[in-house]
């Protein structure tokens, strides 16, 4: 479960440290560029890894698109990139940012429709998004946030997009959306990943997987870090059973794609 205050304090500190100390400034220090929805789980994986390794992590949590564009433009430096979809990992491969032969896909997720716990809406099917009881639909920015792109795909595939686009409001990342949704009034629903539901939200239903591309995560070392022994060791650990157990506990799908 996500803890917003802890998350933002951690990310703020991480961004400050990253600005002061570029990736790979000393042995055992790794910079991880992570899709927002993986940050809580990867923090836990990192804690477990550090229990038996003298490692230090600088963690950058943003939407996959913003991370990929930041690395492409040179504004972000990292050793490992985790994308919440194939599109942004393909972008990183095409621009030579990551080692193409080391891309892996270890986890999946599910897209859900949710509402604030205080909302009078307790039941709502997918077509109900077009009903008068729903006044605002929060989704991620489809141009940079995979969960937003999947939401738009599902709405278009089901013929709902043109009927509800006047209700759509976007957020830059999934943490912002979860916080906004939790504090919103009656009539507001959100479409987000299952793993980012908070205690302030109520899940209404899971979006039909046939309506959007599979939700899979992709991980790879940056090209400049691909031969780094510390990076290789950490990536192997992330794909271990111990790490898989953490992701499964956080609600991710750890089955093979």
Residues 46 and 127 in one domain: no
Distance CA 153, CA 142 (A): 9
Q: Three-class SS of residue 109?
A: coil
In a domain, 132, yes or no: yes
In a domain, 254, yes or no: no
17/43: higher pLDDT: 43
Q: What is the mean pLDDT of residues 5-12?
A: 38
Residues 9 and 104 in one domain: yes
Residues 8 and 127 in one domain: no
Task: Kindly report, residue by residue over 34-83, the tens digit of the pLDDT.
Answer: 999 999 999 999 999 999 999 999 999 999 999 999 999 999 999 999 99
In a domain, 243, yes or no: yes
Distance CA 192, CA 254 (A): 18
- Angle, helices 241-249 vs 39-50, to 10°: value is 140
Return the number of other C-beta atoms located less than 10 Å from residue 177's C-beta.
28
* Domain of 203, in residue numbers: 111-211
Strands 136-140 and 56-62: unpaired
The rounded mean pLDDT for the chain is 91
Total of domains in the chain: 2
Residues 129 and 192 in one domain: yes
Residues 207 and 150 in one domain: yes
Residues 235 and 197 in one domain: no
Judge if pTM exceeds 0.95: no
Residues 103 and 224 in one domain: yes
In a domain, 186, yes or no: yes
Residues 225 and 242 in one domain: yes
Residues 39 and 74 in one domain: yes
Residue 95 has pLDDT above 70, yes or no: yes
Angle at 17 between CA 96 and CA 252, to 5 degrees: 65
Strands of the chain (E only): list them.
Answer: 29-35, 56-62, 80-83, 111-116, 136-140, 168-171, 188-193, 201-206, 218-221
DSSP structure class, residue 208: P
pLDDT given for residue 256 in this prediction: 73
Q: Three-class SS of residue 204?
A: strand
Q: What is the mean pLDDT of residues 232-252?
A: 97
Task: Kindly report, residue by residue over 137-157, the tens digit of the pLDDT.
Answer: 999 999 999 999 999 999 999
In a domain, 100, yes or no: yes
Residues 202 and 220 in one domain: no
Per-residue 3-state assignment (H helix, E strand, C coil) for 29-57: EEEEEEEHHHHHHHHHHHHHHHCCCCCEE
Q: Residue 231 sits in a domain of what CATH number?
A: 3.40.190.10
- Estimate to the nearest angstrom the gap between the alpha carbon of 142 and the chain centroid: 13
Q: Read off φ and ψ for residue 87, nearest 5 degrees.
A: -55, -45
């Amino acid at each position: 479960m996500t803890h917003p205050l802890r998350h933002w304090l951690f990310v703020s500190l991480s961004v400050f440290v990253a600005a002061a100390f570029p990736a790979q400034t000393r042995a055992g220090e790794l910079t991880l560029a992570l899709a927002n929805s993986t940050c809580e789980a990867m923090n836990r994986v990192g804690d477990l890894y550090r229990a038996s390794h003298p490692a230090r992590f600088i963690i950058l949590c943003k939407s996959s698109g913003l991370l990929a564009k930041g690395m492409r433009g040179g504004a972000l430096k990292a050793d490992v990139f985790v994308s919440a979809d194939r599109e942004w990992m393909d972008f990183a491969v095409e621009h030579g940012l990551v080692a193409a032969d080391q891309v892996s896909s270890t986890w999946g997720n599910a897209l859900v429709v949710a509402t604030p716990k205080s909302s009078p809406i307790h039941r709502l099917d997918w077509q109900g998004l077009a009903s008068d009881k729903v006044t605002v639909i929060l989704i991620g920015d489809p141009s940079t946030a995979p969960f937003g792109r999947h939401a738009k795909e599902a709405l278009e595939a089901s013929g709902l997009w043109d009927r509800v686009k006047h209700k759509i409001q976007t957020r830059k990342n999934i943490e912002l959306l979860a916080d906004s949704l939790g504090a919103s009034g009656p009539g507001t629903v959100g479409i987000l990943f299952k793993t980012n539901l908070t205690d302030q939200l109520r899940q209404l239903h899971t979006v039909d997987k046939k309506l959007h591309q599979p939700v899979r995560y992709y991980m790879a070392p940056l090209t400049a870090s691909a031969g780094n022994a510390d990076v290789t060791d950490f990536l192997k650990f992330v794909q271990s059973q111990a790490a898989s157990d953490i992701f499964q506990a956080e609600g991710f799908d750890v089955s093979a794609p």
